[in-house]
Amino acid sequence: MRMKERCEGKAITQMCKMIASVGLIVGFALFLLSFIASAYNKDFFLTIISLGIMGASMFMFGFGTFMGLLTETYQKTETSA
């Protein structure tokens, strides 16, 4: 049971890293597509959406890393007290 608790922070960080990676890849692909598909991108809609997806992925990575570190730190202080 204690080993599962110890790996919980790493699991949160790993999950957010995977989600952020997929989001960055999709956002970057849409960003490149926005330069090629000019008929769909008259109002720079694809560019705005792709930058939003990449920004949300970076925010998700930062928040997930923070939560993973917070969980690890909280569990270490809880077991040592």
Distance of CA 20 to the CA centre of its chain: 3
Average pLDDT along the chain = 82
pTM over cut 0.85: no
- Going by C-alpha positions, the residue among 51, 54, 62, 55 that lies closest to residue 16 is 62
3-state helix, strand, coil in the chain (%, to 5): 85, 0, 15
Tell me: the pLDDT tens digits for 18-57? Answer: 999 999 999 999 998 888 877 766 778 888 999 999 999 9
Task: Enumerate residues 6+ apart whose C-beta is below 8 A from 54.
Answer: 23, 24, 27, 28, 31
